[in-house]
Chains A and B, each alone.
Chain A
Amino acid sequence: MYNYSWFWLIPGVEHGEFLEAIHEHLPAWAVVHAETASAHAVPAAWAVVLICCLFAFVARAGLNSARAKGGIEQYVPAAGFSPRNMMEILLGAIWNFAAETLNSRDVATRYFPVFAAVFIYVLISNLMGLVPGFLPPTGSVSTNFAVALVVFLVFNWAGFKEAGFGYVKHMAGPVWWLAFFIFPVELFSMLIRPLTLAVRLYINMFADHLLLGVSTEMIAYVLPAAFVGLGSFVSFVQAFVFMLLTVVYVTLSVGDGDHH
């Protein structure tokens, strides 16, 4: 009974009828496949986005109130445990990591919203699966592939913006007469990146949820407690890995500053 989601209480979610109702209003070319088995992931993803936005607003309100006071209050971290503090620590850590990996603070600042959004969204989605009765929205390849497509667009955009046509030339390899062999390989490895990002996250979350379900069947409340600890560790690691790979792909596209 590990396959239960509170979102099934909303009418039309359990068997994906609401997806088919949406698909009726779309043109035929826009509908790829109605994956109704994991239709629960769509309202769950919306709920995660709502939580992220609420957290962001509360943190920003804390910062605004500190700025309104003026003086030393706005530059010094808040006293105690507050959403503004948590957000500042988290975003500062992500920015430092991105600036170090990219070797350039401007590029890190330019693409920082994507890195932070990806990390926070994937983290909260993963952790939602550990709450009893919820299925994580990252436990469905479709929602993961949506995030991976955004990452794909971002690192391609970064490549074309920073290097122009040199981005395509970079994929052709070092010498021109090897480009015939190297270019398809590089193109394929670039196209497979969103797929591996999505599938890696999906399988990690699916295996963890399966583990929670099986351990619940064995010893009801004791054994899953250990696996919730493992699950939260895996959630953090997978969210970090997703963001790490985003930063690394942008680094590889931008070219480490050695193509000038």
Chain B
Amino acid sequence: MKSKYLSVALAMVALFLVSNPAFAADGFETGAGIGLGAGIGMGLAALGCGMGQGRAAASALEGIARNPQAAGKIQTPMLIGLVFMETLVLFTFGFGFLMLGNLG
């Protein structure tokens, strides 16, 4: 994905990260980083969980389509897989919620 916008995007990200001390000079509260982190973390967790659970459900549905009689036997391992991915997202949500007490 070599586009001319990639370098511009990277420069913007670097500027954002490097300029933190400049913000701190005029009273930028470091607690705000926690809010940003919790929000972005939750979004990333939801993204990963959605992709993973989509794949699990897709292969389970394909298996059921090939062999409708085995639907009950396929459903149980599918639920087990979905639960483990969902747990990770819930941990992120809980962690973010815990951290929101430390804003500001």
Contacts and interface: CB of A to CB of B under 8 A. Distances in A.
A199 B90 contact: yes
Contact of A200 (B73, B76, B90): B90
Given A244-B76, A244-B83, A207 B93 contact: yes
A100 B73 CA distance: 9
B58 interface: no
Given A100-B73, A101-B76, A241 B83 contact: yes
B52 to A, nearest CB: 16
Interface in B38-96: 72-73, 76, 79-80, 83, 86-87, 90-91, 93-94
A248 interface: yes
Interface residues of A, number: 16
A199 B73 contact: no
What is the size category of the interface that chain B forms with chain A? 10 to 19
A175 to B, nearest CB: 27
Contacts of A240: 79
Contacts of A97: 76
A230 interface: no
A197 to B, nearest CB: 9
B87 A196 contact: yes
A39 B94 CA distance: 20
A90 interface: no
B93 A203 contact: yes
A245 interface: yes
A122 to B, nearest CB: 14
Contact of A245 (B83, B86, B90, B91): B83
Interface in A205-248: 206-207, 240-241, 244-245, 248
A244 B79 contact: yes
Interface of B: 72-73, 76, 79-80, 83, 86-87, 90-91, 93-94
